[in-house]
Structure 1
Amino acid sequence: MTVNKKEFADRMAENGGITKKAAREAVKLFIKTIEDFLSEDEKIMISGFGRFEVRTMKEKVGNLKGNSCVIPEHEYVGFHASNLLMDRIQEIKKIKNEGINDEG
């Protein structure tokens, strides 16, 4: 399942005990701020969460329907999750799975 911006903000409102409107504004502001820093070639490190940065993909030869083609050098946004975030995700999944197994 893919969560969209509205669904993300609504969950944030639930978790934070704030209005959906406030959560949606906070999400918009968060995204805008990330865009601002990345457009200035700044890396963004959020402790316990991860790192965002603009990376460069070098030119390479690709394959398009059996024909080789040149994919030009281009920039993209990379994200690297922190070890703490990955540990938390695994812990939450384990707890949820144990809850499911206990019911069955």
Structure 2
Amino acid sequence: MNKTELIEALASKAGTSKVAAATLLDAFTATVSDTLKKEEPVVILGFGTFSVSARSARTGRNPQTGEPLKIKATKVAKFKAGTKLAESVKKAKKKAAPKK
């Protein structure tokens, strides 16, 4: 699902216009981004948690030449699914799995 499809689905489920759904989605993503910039988590009970994780510096390899290179330490955004989301995905997988 891409952003346009998500906006259409949100508008349909909320019974609102696509413009309103797009505005709310943009506001949601901006709010999550702003909160993560402050290194604070965003917790949505049952859905999941957005947080910031630190990756330490390490040595990697250039895949073309095989030469070692230094990779700087960085911070990355992370998402951990909540219990309700994880369970709904787990149930959907069981339904979609082919029977043996």
* Interval of TM-score (by shorter of Structure 1 and Structure 2): 0.7 to 0.9
Alpha-carbon distance, 1:25 to partner: 0.6
TM-score, L = length of structure 1: 0.82
Deviations 1:20-48 (A, max 9, x none): 11111110000011011111111111100
The residue type paired with residue 71 of structure 2 is I
Alpha-carbon distance, 1:10 to partner: 0.9
Unaligned 5+ segments in structure 2 are none
TM-score, L = length of structure 2: 0.85
Partner of 1:79: 79
Write out the 4+ residue segments of structure 1 that deviate beyond 4 Å after TM superposition.
none
Partner of 2:28: 30
2:53, 2:61 → 1: CA distance?
22
Unaligned 5+ segments in structure 1 are none
Greater share of residues in helix: 1
Partner of 1:14: 12
The residue type paired with residue 32 of structure 1 is A
Identity, % of aligned pairs? 28
Alignment: residue pair count: 96
Alpha-carbon distance, 1:93 to partner: 4.3
Aligned-residue RMSD, C-alpha: 1.8
Partner of 1:51: 49
